[in-house]
Amino acid sequence: MSYTALARKWRPKSFAEMSGQEHVLTALSNALDAGRVHHAFLFTGTRGVGKTTVARIFAKCLNCELGVRSVPCGECGSCREIDAGRFLDLIEVDAASRTKVDDTRELLENVQYAPTRGRYKVYLIDEVHMLTTQSFNALLKTLEEPPPHVKFLLATTDPQKLPATVLSRCLQFNLRRLTPSLIQARLAFVLAAEGISAEPAALRLLALAADGSLRDGLSLLDQLLAFGNGVAREADALTMLGAVDRSQVMRIAQLLAAQDAAGLVAHAQHMEQWSPDHAQLLDGLISLLAQVAVLQVVPGAVTDEDLYEPAQLQDLAGRFSAADVQLYYQIGLLGRRDLPLVAEASTGFMMTLLRMLAFRPQGAAALAGSPTPQPAVASGTPVPSASRPVPATAPAPSPVVRAVPAPGPTRVLAEMTPADWPAVVAQLPLTGLARQLAVNCALVAVQGTVLRLALDPKQRAIHSAAPVERMTAALSALFATAVRLDIEVTAPPAETPASAQSRAQAQGLAMVTAALADEPVVKALGEQFGATVQADSIRLIKPGE
């Protein structure tokens, strides 16, 4: 008894029967109807999305006895022969098995001859990326300038392996992966035409397992019908795919919502008796959380009703907070990514669930993202951070400056001394040239609201109107009064902030160099090989790096 697989029996015979790929079908149909048919087409995409099927339908459109059209009649001799796979002028080549250059040359020897039966001689080369470089070179000239009666249809799952010279001579169409909804609809159509009963949840599981490939979905449907003795049931699909009942995933989500750690651990251990695929379990939980998040934002939104009852999803959406759902979703994604790294998948799955409970936001302050209060410190003093890692090498010491109270009234400006200038500069929100001007100046005296400053002669190039104006505005805002600057290019009477920082860095570098020279390993290298510490190769780490 002969049996034809569903994937072959229900292969589309026209563009109208195709599932999805409208962006490709529209372009091909318009080209056929307008008579603007290119001589070479390249169809790319993952397995089972319809590359070869589209190419065969296109060949039928070109050779239909009623004329070149986007809707072949399907009744003429050419259409029937193409459907049956015995049309002489449709030459299908499997490039994976004919990779040699001699095979390509033999194929191209007949290009010059007119079609035997149809209007065009169509060369359909499947998995064209498997051809060798020599084969591509032999094909290149013919592909660029073929006889008017020849059309090339190339199909591949890996277009990156094709030479750019080939890609530039073809119209390229990328066939997308099909959505689970499209695959499920096609499976339901096939079963209805075959007169076979099916549970929608079973078809949904097959559509998800097909991973965007309609052919894989039909093959899985064939397998399910054999497994279930001609009936497509959800329980049989779960057993065949090695998946866990959706009720188990729903139970995990309910335990998470109830913050029942003991129940969650017990349920995870209970599921181990079925040897579940933990990656699929996490995928199912992530998908469920995504549906809950949608319902929380848009109540009554369309959800996956074939796997979960709307009432269940609505109830779950009411038991979770929005912050919890988002956090659990992200933790689930990270756990799914790290699952192959653990020795036992069950341990990784359990730890992912426990991590969801351990890192749950606590309190309104945590949900609102309230910052942790920091202790008050004197102005100009760096605030230590407990979360900042300690650098491996000694950080560059900051210049020691005398902290001053935050300037406010005019009397504080009048009381400022040259020793206070570095702390004042540290509070100015300046960047660029204005910052360089401030740090290279030293305070000479304060005369009312006039600050007399001395600029290092080496930095006279930065003394211009724009930086002075920005610096004046910043000081006026800091002291809450109109400040004027009198800057003289002369040797500063005291150390500037820039020179103080340079001195501190030099001291720090000397300390680090000395410390390295005293290391036992460095001493041993010096004694055995005459090695010395190169001071110019040491870089001090600034705070925050």
Residue 347: phi and psi, rounded to 5, are -65, -45
Residue type, 45: G
Q: What is the pLDDT of residue 540?
A: 62
The domain locations on the chain are 6-174, 180-241, 246-360, 412-494, 501-537
What mean pLDDT is reported for the chain?
Answer: 83
Q: Tell me how far CA of residue 9 lies from CA of 3, 83, 137, 190, in angstroms.
A: 9, 11, 37, 10
Residue type, 390: V
- 180-241: CATH architecture: Orthogonal Bundle (1.10)
SS3 173: strand
Q: What's the CATH code, domain 246-360?
A: 1.20.272.10
6-174 and 246-360: identical CATH topology: no
Structure tokens at 221: 């449907």
Q: Tell me how far CA of residue 311 lies from CA of 141, 299, 307, 325, in angstroms.
A: 64, 12, 12, 18
Look up the pTM and report it.
Answer: 0.58
Q: What is the pLDDT of residue 87?
A: 92
Q: What is the pLDDT of residue 362?
A: 56
Q: What is the pLDDT of residue 119?
A: 92
**By the 8 A CB rule, do 476 and 469 touch?**
no
Q: What is the pLDDT of residue 363?
A: 45
**By the 8 A CB rule, do 194 and 218 touch?**
no
Q: What is the pLDDT of residue 218?
A: 94
Q: What is the pLDDT of residue 400?
A: 41
Residue type, 503: R
Q: Could you tell me the fold of the domain covering 412-494?
A: GMP Synthetase; Chain A, domain 3 (3.30.300)
Q: Could you tell me the fold of the domain covering 6-174?
A: Rossmann fold (3.40.50)
Q: Report the alpha-carbon distance of residue 195 to residue 151 in Å, rounded.
A: 40
Instruction: Report, as ranges of residue numbers, the positions in the chain whose pLDDT lies below 70.
Output: 1, 302-307, 360-411, 535-536, 539-545
Structure tokens at 520: 């036992």
Among 24, 75, 74, 21, CA closest to 48:
21
